[in-house]
Amino acid sequence: MRKNLKEARQKAGMTQQQMAEYLGITVRAYQQIESGDYQGKIEHWDKLEDLFGIHQRKLRELFLTTDKEINSNTK
């Protein structure tokens, strides 16, 4: 999961739908970027860096989800 990207989106008060529209991609494609299943194009990361003011290297960082996080998210 790209925790930094998700947190930046939530802090900005944006939905995944709004992010997808901003990037000109489908919601599913954005969800795959945020989950880390799809790298995305460099143009997407350039736009995200401009939007959030956070270096794209930081936004692209992947974090492993622990069993504890998985269990707490399913409640």
For domain 3-73, give the fold: 434 Repressor (Amino-terminal Domain) (1.10.260)
The answer to whether residues 5 and 12 touch, using CB atoms and an 8 Å cutoff, is no
DSSP state of 64: P
Degrees, nearest 5: CA angle 69-72-75: 150
User: So where are the chain's domains?
Assistant: 3-73
The pLDDT-based confidence of 9 (bands split at 50, 70, 90) is: very high
Tokens linked to 54: 């956070």
Q: Which contacts (CB < 8 Å, 24+ apart) does range 19-22 have?
A: 22/47, 22/51
pLDDT digits (tens, 9 = 90+) for 12-30: 999 999 999 999 999 999 9
